[in-house]
Amino acid sequence: LGRSLSKTMKKLAGMTIVDEEVVREVIKDIQRALIQSDVNVKLVFKLSKSIENRALNEEPPRGITPKEHIIRIVYEEMVKLVGEKAQELSIDEKPYRILFLGLQGSGKTTTIGKLARHLRRRGFTVGVVCTDTWRPAAFEQLKQYTEGQDIDVYGDPQNRDAVDLARKGLEEFQKKDVIIFDTAGRHKEEKDLLNEMEELSDVVKPHEAILVIDGTIGQQAREQALAFREATDIGSIIVTKLDGSAKGGGALSAVAEIGAPIKFIGTGERIEDLEVFDPERFISRLLGMGDLRSLLEKVEEVSEEDISEESLDAILSGRFTLKDMRVQFEMMGKMGPLQQIMKMLPGMGKLPKDASKMTEETIKRYLIIMDSMTDEELEKPDIIKHSRIRRIARGSGTRNEDVKDLLKYYKVTKKAMKGLGRRKLGGPMGQLMR
Ligand code: GDP
Ligand code: MG
């Protein structure tokens, strides 16, 4: 889906005039891409209609070209298709009880490991309860996924009574901030499974029931979600296996229709492959626009303050001195690490590993070091050799190695920046930045 949509957007970006025919052609491409990713046909037509209506009837706001106008409309309407705003879990009561639901194989146990880790990292104490009496070694699997994370797990392979397990786990973890209940996804009959979920729900009284849906099933996700909604109030949804699935768009749009927010998506089998689901971010990525929205907002924010258009230009062009790097460090403070900024720009995902390892502390140290440099040195870093390094280190109260590290970092970054110039920025992003 991603590839063909971003191709469509590129096509649009390359057009000089946008007329009715062009709008229709773009819409056709989008329809094709969405239907291929198993988005419900009715939904696709609804979307096309609103894009077409808006594109042909709304005047582009002042300062925006017709082309940008259409890109924006497509973007906004597609965001609506998968939800509106990103929503984090809010742990507002303790112990906050989360009941996981979903068919066998949908990814519940894996996702519980991921979520428990995510919550633990946010500082919450977490207990996980295994009530799955169907899957062989369910308890072992759960222990494995939470191992080494300072997360407690309760289970009893001898006990065949899911509701009793839930009750005991609840008691066990009264002092935790969060209790997560893993459940079975299989029974002899679907009816039995849903009954068990209902009973568990009565005992656990979850603050939030999270439904886990396998993203590879496409628009079938809708029926599954509706069936579980019969058994219990679904608070939120997690769609898994969105890594490499062609049907992700179908699953996401289908469950978005159910009305419960999608809070996270699973993007791989590893414990860290869980992302807070942010519709805006997701769609801009899908359209091959990088994190268009957030980037534009952030660039605006930053450049309004103290960073001139000129500096930004330098950063995005090959002309890159230590002065520019200083500006870049100052931006990092506001926008997050460079790696993240670059990820938002299409085709720029790759920066030297060093860039992502930059800690706030290092940035601060480097800024201090640069304060001890002369204007000439900042403009022409090549002249900084032995005696200058010693002087700068002394002046800034750092070691020679620190200054050398800074210079090394500068060289690597400069190399990475080469060729990432504004003029070479293709696609809608390039159009908008120009
Ligand atoms: P459960 O039966 O619902 O508890 O599902 P499991 O957690 O046991 O997961 C079933 C399979 O899906 C396992 O092989 C997981 O590794 C895999 N899985 C879970 N989440 C993801 C994901 O986001 N991406 C991928 N590629 N695989 C996943
Ligand atoms: Mg499981």
Ligand in nearest proximity to the CA of 106: 1
Q: Does residue 30 register a pLDDT over 90?
A: no
Q: Whose CA is nearest to atom 10 of ligand 1?
A: 105
The pLDDT assigned to 123 comes to: 93
Domain boundary among 250, 278, 306: 278
64-97 tens-digit pLDDT: 677 777 878 888 898 888 887 888 899 999 999 9
Residue 25 amino acid letter: E
112-122 tens-digit pLDDT: 999 999 999 99
Q: How far apart are CA 388 and CA 368, in angstroms?
A: 15
CA-wise closest residue to 264 among 235, 291, 288: 235
Ligand 1 centroid to Cα of residue 106, in Å, is 6
- Which residues participate in the annotated binding site for GTP? 102-109, 182-186, 240-243
Residues 218/38, Cβ–Cβ less than 8 Å = yes
Segment of 78-92, 144-158, 180-194 carrying the highest mean pLDDT: 144-158
Whether 283 maps to a domain, the answer reads: no
225-270 tens-digit pLDDT: 998 888 888 999 999 998 877 788 889 888 988 888 999 999 999 9
Please choose from 269, 270, 274, 276 the residue to mutate so as to test ligand 1's pocket, defined by most ligand atoms within 8 A of CB.
269
Ligand 1 centroid to Cα of residue 111, in Å, is 7
> Do 349 and 269 fall into the same domain?
no
Q: Does residue 218 register a pLDDT over 50?
A: yes
> Do 126 and 255 fall into the same domain?
yes
> Do 179 and 259 fall into the same domain?
yes
DSSP states along 117-175: HHHHHTT--EEEEE---SSTTHHHHHHHHHTTSS-EEE--TT---HHHHHHHHHHHTTT
Ligand 1 centroid to Cα of residue 330, in Å, is 41
Ligand in nearest proximity to the CA of 212: 1
- The boundaries of the domain holding residue 265 are 96-278
DSSP states along 302-320: HHHTT--HHHHHHHHSS--
How much is the average pLDDT of 208-228?
A: 93
Give the atom of ligand 1 at the shortest distance from the alpha carbon of 273.
23
Ligand 1 centroid to Cα of residue 92, in Å, is 28
Ligand in nearest proximity to the CA of 132: 2
Model pTM?
A: 0.68
Q: How many domains does the chain have?
A: 3
Whether 287 maps to a domain, the answer reads: no
CA-wise closest residue to 47 among 68, 29, 20, 22: 29
Ligand in nearest proximity to the CA of 268: 1
- For residue 22, give the CATH number of its domain: 1.20.120.140
Which residues, in sequence order, are bridge partners of residue 128?
153, 180
**ipTM of this predicted structure:** 0.99
- Which residues participate in the annotated binding site? 102-109, 182-186, 240-243
The pLDDT assigned to 330 comes to: 73
Q: How far apart are CA 276 and CA 274, in angstroms?
A: 7
Ligand 2 centroid to Cα of residue 254, in Å, is 23
> Do 62 and 164 fall into the same domain?
no
- For residue 396, give the CATH number of its domain: 1.10.260.30
Query: Which residues are CB-neighbours of 210 under 8 A, at least 6 positions away?
Result: 98, 99, 100, 101, 234, 235, 236, 237, 238, 263
Specify the higher pLDDT residue, 87 or 180: 180
Whether 89 maps to a domain, the answer reads: no
Q: Whose CA is nearest to atom 19 of ligand 1?
A: 107
The pLDDT assigned to 45 comes to: 92
Q: How far apart are CA 308 and CA 48, in angstroms?
A: 39
- Ligand 1 interacting residues, C-beta cut-off 6 A: 102, 104-110, 185, 240-241, 243, 266-269, 273
> Do 314 and 424 fall into the same domain?
yes
Query: pLDDT grade, residue 352 (50/70/90)?
Result: very low
How much is the average pLDDT of 206-230?
A: 93
Q: Which residue has the tokens 């200083």?
A: 326
- Segment among 45-59, 68-82, 169-183 with least mean pLDDT: 68-82
Residues 317/309, Cβ–Cβ less than 8 Å = no
> Do 117 and 162 fall into the same domain?
yes
Query: Which residues are CB-neighbours of 381 under 8 A, at least 6 positions away?
Result: 321, 322, 407, 410
> Do 113 and 174 fall into the same domain?
yes
CA-wise closest residue to 153 among 188, 177, 179, 129: 129
Give the atom of ligand 1 at the shortest distance from the alpha carbon of 182.
4
283-306 tens-digit pLDDT: 877 776 654 454 445 444 444 444
Ligand 2 centroid to Cα of residue 384, in Å, is 59
Domain boundary among 28, 49, 82: 82
